[in-house]
A and B are shown apart, each in its own frame.
Chain A
Amino acid sequence: MNTELRERIKNVIETEPVAVFMKGSPQFVMCGNSERALQALRGSGAPVTAVDVLPDPEIRQELSALSGWPTIPQIFIGGELVGGADIVEELAASGELEQKLSESLGDGYRDEATERVVSVLVPA
């Protein structure tokens, strides 16, 4: 177990309004499922803080140990696991995603819907 890495992942989950652990970045997506999740979030006007899991396999290990979710992407809203691409897509289609975003971030969440990328890698 990599305690420092796990703490960094936990910090992103707990402090970012919407955290997306994905393969690649929003600008350069490396997996179809990460793309589907991003599109669903964008369509709902969500702010996105993305973490690329590809630079180090340990990121994925620690993330799944924390969340109990086996696959990538993983989407967290307000510190809570929402699910993977299938769930986020389904919730977007039913309107529940927007509802969840409003509840968690406030009704004006669309106004500050920026996309950014953060790294959880522990500096060498």
Chain B
Amino acid sequence: MTAELESVLRAAFPEATEVRVTDRTGGGDHFLVEVTSPRFDGLPLLEQHRLVNEALAAPFASGRIHEMRIKTKGTA
């Protein structure tokens, strides 16, 4: 699941300088998602998270993710 999420994110954010998905509990359903991308520069946090949420809408809708923490950063 971690690798799957990472590849979804890399496809959605090809310009990202960092994409990292961590299984926080080892149970395969609590994830920390970290994305650093120039696309986030100057964007409010809400919009940054919205982009990540949108990118992960399909895996999220599968019901296999119980919890997702998001950390986003711009590069500026």
Contacts and interface: CB of A to CB of B under 8 A. Distances in A.
A82 B65 CA distance: 23
Given A33-B67, A71-B68, A86 B49 contact: yes
Given A33-B67, A86-B70, A86-B71, A71 B45 contact: no
B64 interface: no
Nearest to B32: A86
Interface residues of A, number: 15
Interface in A55-91: 68-71, 81-87, 90-91
A70 B53 contact: yes
Contacts of A81: 46
A65 to B, nearest CB: 14
A32 interface: yes
Contacts of A86: 49, 69-71
A68 B50 contact: yes
A98 B33 CA distance: 26
A83 B47 CA distance: 9
B53 A87 contact: no
Contacts of B46: 81-83, 87
Given A70-B53, A86-B70, A90-B45, 19 more contacts: A32-B67, A33-B67, A68-B50, A69-B50, A69-B53, A70-B57, A70-B60, A71-B53, A71-B68, A81-B46, A82-B46, A83-B49, A85-B69, A86-B69, A86-B71, A87-B45, A87-B46, A87-B49, A91-B45
Interface of B: 45-46, 49-50, 53, 57, 60, 67-71
Interface of A: 32-33, 68-71, 81-87, 90-91
